[in-house]
Amino acid sequence: MPTCAACKSISSVLQCPHNSLIGLIFCGKHSKAKKPKLWADANNLNPKAILIQKNWKGYFIRNILKLSGPGVLKREVCSNAEELFSFEEKEKLHPLNYFAFEENGKVYWFDIRTMIQCLDQSVDLKNPYTRQPIKSDVRKRLHKLYIYRIRNKLLISHTEHQTLTLEQILTNRFTHICHVLQSNELFEITPESFIELGPISIRFYVMGLIEQFAEWAQEHKRPESQRKKFVNYLQNIMDKFQQLDYGQYLYVVSSVLLFILYDSKDSFQPSFMIMSGFHRM
């Protein structure tokens, strides 16, 4: 998230360290001030640098709105009048909490948190109104927004966070992995496919992933390339096999796989290798 554009206080020339609110240039404290002291003005910054920052922020917001889907700034095209979970009216939902997609000529909109909860609850992602499967391009937009909210510590649920058992955590994590695979048209794998592998098979599965990712990484010559970092992460998993019990080991595996999928600009190749690893054992 961008840093607040104000000074720490009216008597300071240091920049406020807090993140700005979504769609604003100030944090929560300085957005309430009548006349906040701008850090750029106090430090006589180059106007061109300020312009670049403004343009970047504008690009960032426009990209999020594009991922939000049809009707984000034109709510009259929406088919449903209120939100499915919160019953909030379509005109009142903040644009950066909005998510929509088109199905059979109709635009269905939701609070993004509602759709993320749908991700958590089932591996079969369907339109809650029509029960039709949601298309791959919509799934990809949803996952990009989910990653954005996770990394920026934004709310991803309507309800308070609940304490989960290790089994529930593993099911949730592998469900999200399966959703990413499905967004790339790979539907053969379920959360149980991972959880029921067993200690020996999961080790051979990880070894197969290392082999595939290492071959993929050879296409890049730089030693610090992203692909080679992925290989290092997978190799580190192997080092933990003797130190952890099966549940803990699955937790580490799911963490690394999610990181790889979420950090990849195009998740198709990692998704394909994660799926094909089951056929190589």
Q: Per residue in 162-184, pLDDT tens?
A: 788 999 999 999 999 999 999 99
pLDDT at 49: 57
| 34 belongs to a structural domain | no
- Whether residues 232 and 268 share a domain: the answer is yes
* Structure-block tokens of residue 113: 């948190």
Number of structural domains in the chain: 2
Domain boundary among 151, 178, 212: 151
* Structure-block tokens of residue 231: 């290989």
> H or E stretch including 167?
helix 166-183
* Structure-block tokens of residue 155: 């709310």
Domain boundary among 151, 180, 208: 151
| 128 belongs to a structural domain | yes
pLDDT at 235: 94
Of 125, 122, 126, 119, nearest to 147 by C-alpha is 119
- Whether residues 190 and 117 share a domain: the answer is no
CB 28, CB 47: distance < 8 Å = no
- Whether residues 172 and 262 share a domain: the answer is yes
Q: ∠ CA(54), CA(98), CA(266), 5° rounding?
A: 70
- Whether residues 139 and 206 share a domain: the answer is no
- Close Cβ partners of 119 (under 8 Å, ≥ 6 residues apart): 125, 142, 146, 175, 176, 179
| CB hemisphere CA count around 265 (13 angstroms) | 2
**Residue, of 53 and 89, whose pLDDT is higher:** 89
What mean pLDDT is predicted for residues 208-231?
A: 92
- Would you call 152 helix, strand, or coil by DSSP? coil
- Whether residues 272 and 173 share a domain: the answer is yes
Q: What pTM, to 2 d.p., does this model score?
A: 0.76
**3-state SS, one letter per residue, for 104-142:** CCEEEEEEHHHHHHHHHHCCCCECCCCCCECCHHHHHHH
Q: ∠ CA(209), CA(211), CA(212), 5° rounding?
A: 65
- Whether residues 106 and 134 share a domain: the answer is yes
Of 118, 167, 174, nearest to 146 by C-alpha is 118
**Residue, of 152 and 77, whose pLDDT is higher:** 77
**Residue, of 1 and 208, whose pLDDT is higher:** 208
- Whether residues 125 and 196 share a domain: the answer is no
What mean pLDDT is predicted for residues 80-85?
A: 87
| 30 belongs to a structural domain | no
With cut-offs at 50, 70 and 90, classify the pLDDT of residue 240. Answer: confident
- Whether residues 111 and 136 share a domain: the answer is yes
CA–CA distance, 12 with 274 (Å, rounded to integer): 52
| 38 belongs to a structural domain | no
Domain boundary among 99, 122, 151: 151
pLDDT at 50: 56
**Residue, of 36 and 212, whose pLDDT is higher:** 212
| 120 belongs to a structural domain | yes
- Close Cβ partners of 118 (under 8 Å, ≥ 6 residues apart): 125, 128
C-alpha 50, offset from chain centre: 29
- Whether residues 143 and 194 share a domain: the answer is no
Name the most confidently modeled range: 101-110, 115-124, 236-245: 101-110
pLDDT at 280: 79
With cut-offs at 50, 70 and 90, classify the pLDDT of residue 5. Answer: confident
With cut-offs at 50, 70 and 90, classify the pLDDT of residue 200. Answer: very high
| 12 belongs to a structural domain | no
- Whether residues 144 and 185 share a domain: the answer is no
pLDDT at 56: 56
Of 264, 256, 259, nearest to 240 by C-alpha is 256
| 35 belongs to a structural domain | no
- Whether residues 176 and 111 share a domain: the answer is no
Which residue's structure tokens are 């998993």? Answer: 237
For the chain, what percent of residues have pLDDT higher than 70?
Answer: 93
| 105 belongs to a structural domain | yes
With cut-offs at 50, 70 and 90, classify the pLDDT of residue 1. Answer: low
Domain with 177, as residue range(s), is 166-276
CA–CA distance, 80 with 83 (Å, rounded to integer): 7
pLDDT at 193: 94
- Whether residues 197 and 254 share a domain: the answer is yes
